[in-house]
Homo-oligomer: A and B are copies of this chain.
Amino acid sequence: MNNKAFLMECAKELFYAKGYDAVGVQEIVERAGLTKPTLYYYFGSKIGLLRTLLETRFERYLAQVKEAAETRSDIRGTLYRLGEISCAFYEEDRQFYMLMMALLYSARENEAYQAVRPYFVELYESVVQAFEREAGRLGNMRGRQRQFAIGFLGTIHQYLFLQWETDPEESSGKIGGEQIASVVDQFMYGIFT
């Protein structure tokens, strides 16, 4: 790994562990065994580092979500696919996933929040579109597409959050297709399934 990628990796670990604001530039470069000017050479600023990190990691996930949301299928298949993609994204780097969530819940005024917001807006809009496209086949949704979209993403996330609380390290293996199906079904048909 070159120094640029290594700085991003170190920064991610520290941002996850302590929160973006609480991590100093000095701390990042020390962990990487480098010095400050090197960081500023590659990223220009601390927020520039975060932006680059988001760009290189979140965009691929977002592209997959968009594709799944636009692909014509039944609603259950689409939701399952979305669940699958999200779980894979979580599995790929649990720390990064949790970092994203933490940033999403930080304050509006915070520059770190402003850096992640566009990604989540796009993510959310993609899922809204999926529900909207299915509106006809799904019966009268009474304009609740937005509620469903945020509800579904929330349900998936809650499930991953529970996984995380139970098993922060990757010790108990990957999340299976059955588990995803169970969560999708709970969302679609409620708790009596």
Residues of B within 8 A of A102 (CB): 105-107
Q: Residue A174 at the B interface, CB < 8 A?
A: no
List residues 107-144 of chain A with CB under 8 A from any CB of chain B: 107-110, 138-139, 141, 144
Which residue of B has the minimal Cβ distance to A22? B21
Main SS at interface, chain A: helix
Query: Is the CB–CB distance between A191 and B107 below 8 Å?
Result: no
The stretch that binds B, out of A1-9, A39-47, A83-91, A154-162, is A154-162
The stretch that binds B, out of A28-36, A56-64, A65-73, A182-190, is A182-190
Max chain B C-beta neighbours (<10 A), residue from A18, A139, A190:
A190
Residues of B within 8 A of A189 (CB): 189-190, 192
Which residue of B has the minimal Cβ distance to A101? B105
Q: Residue A150 at the B interface, CB < 8 A?
A: yes
Contact of A186 with B21 at beta-carbon distance under 8 Å, contacts A102-B106, A102-B107, A106-B102 already known: no
